[in-house]
Amino acid sequence: DSAEEHLQKALSISTRVADKRLRIVPRYEFGAIQWTRGDLDSARMHFIQALSDAESFNDERSLALGHNGLGLIALCKGKSAEARKYFTDAITIAERHGLMGRYVVSATNLVEIYHLTGNLRKGMELADKVVASARAAHHLYGTAMGLRYRALMLVDVGRVAEARENAEESLRIQLELGNEEEALTARVSLIRSLLAAGELNEAQPILDATLAMLESYDSEGYGRVVHVWQARIHALRGETALAHEQLDRAAELTGRKWPHQQVRVLLNSARTHKLLGRPDMAVTLAEQGLEIADNAGFRYYAMRARQILIDNLEDPERCARHLRVARSLARSLSANLSRDDSASFMARQSLPGLTRK
């Protein structure tokens, strides 16, 4: 609330000074606050105003802000192609003017799009580029963000030990910078790496710390995912009542049911219900996740949803259909990876008869 009050004052002052370009950044930042609250319509209005002002005053450097903001709105509405275009435009402008901070934000947002849509090679390459560019510029925040998103892609291709190292370094830097919101998301990345490696005991204290931070610092809508991860660990330990309690807590959380977070919640919940001996519920949730993934073009999650359905469906014809599509998706997603990454990715997929490079 304090930040919003300061931005409102800044906007009010900027409308009265001679240089109207001074209102562009406050407009964008005000929109960003609305985005963190899950108010996409209000956020979009402010991002459009910031972009319009930048265009009116021919302020190309500020165009990156508007493009990034509208890319975020498109991402949170499941419009992958539109988001990719906005983020790409923002990156181009930021690179042209040497705006490292704005470049890092838009580039890591684009890595997220590549992850969701299964463009693994481009995601890896861009994450590598962000880390290298930020380190060369001694930009600590950019380095931490690049490492977090590199960890995201590394888990996708099955390099989980390296993913853990990247996530740990990202967390260390964010804590050093005192950036609590990004420390939370770095912890989320670390938990994902540890769960992928089957390191439940090591994941637990990170989960505990993350759960304690959600109410104050979860601007990206990871709360329900984290609660479902905790439920999954309880289920793996045979702690049925505790698992159901965490699933209930995840269901109680409202707001920010954006497609890219909703699909994660649904698929992780489906896996947890499978562990709890409820395959019918796992199928229902996986089908809901598949519908979201297909509608939004999230090919990576469409493949993962079909894998869950294969494991839980009793109808052999439906299983065979999902298996054919999942195999096709896996081969497509791995097509442009290096030989080693392709082999690692294929090894991570539980798809019978899947040919590996």
Question: At which residue do the structure tokens 């005000």 appear?
Answer: 30
Q: Identify the band that residue 1 occupies on the pLDDT scale cut at 50, 70 and 90.
A: low
How far apart are the C-alpha atoms of 281 and 295, rounded to whole Å?
Answer: 21
Task: Specify whether the CB–CB gap between 285 and 293 falls below 8 A.
Answer: no
* % of the chain at pLDDT higher than 70: 93
Which residue intervals of the chain are DSSP H helices? Answer: 2-14, 24-36, 40-56, 60-76, 80-96, 100-117, 120-136, 140-157, 160-177, 180-196, 200-217, 223-236, 240-252, 259-275, 279-296, 299-312, 316-334, 339-348
For 177, the token pair is: 């910078």
Task: Specify whether the CB–CB gap between 24 and 50 falls below 8 A.
Answer: yes
Among residues 141, 84, 144, 136, which one has the least CA distance to residue 110? Answer: 84
Q: Identify the band that residue 2 occupies on the pLDDT scale cut at 50, 70 and 90.
A: low
pLDDT value, residue 323: 96
Task: Specify whether the CB–CB gap between 261 and 299 falls below 8 A.
Answer: no
pLDDT tens string 323-351: 999 999 999 999 999 999 999 999 999 88
Ranking 10-24, 153-167, 277-291 by mean pLDDT, the lowest is 10-24
pLDDT tens string 21-37: 778 888 898 899 999 88
How far apart are the C-alpha atoms of 107 and 93, rounded to whole Å?
Answer: 11
Task: Specify whether the CB–CB gap between 168 and 190 falls below 8 A.
Answer: yes
* % of the chain at pLDDT higher than 90: 85
pTM of the predicted protein model: 0.93
Which residue intervals of 137-179 are DSSP H helices? Answer: 140-157, 160-177
355: pLDDT strictly greater than 80: no
pLDDT value, residue 11: 57
pLDDT value, residue 272: 98
Ranking 7-16, 214-223, 245-254, 295-304 by mean pLDDT, the lowest is 7-16
What mean pLDDT, rounded, does the chain reach? Answer: 93
pLDDT value, residue 131: 98
pLDDT value, residue 20: 59
Burial 33-57 (b: 16+ CB within 10 A, else e): bbbbebebeebbbbbbbbbebbeee
How far apart are the C-alpha atoms of 177 and 280, rounded to whole Å?
Answer: 46
157: pLDDT strictly greater than 80: yes
pLDDT tens string 163-205: 999 999 999 999 999 999 999 999 999 999 999 999 999 999 9
pLDDT value, residue 23: 82
pLDDT value, residue 4: 59
pLDDT tens string 83-129: 999 999 999 999 999 999 999 999 999 999 999 999 999 999 999 99
353: pLDDT strictly greater than 90: no
What is the average pLDDT across 270-283? 98
Task: Specify whether the CB–CB gap between 109 and 75 falls below 8 A.
Answer: yes
357: pLDDT strictly greater than 50: no
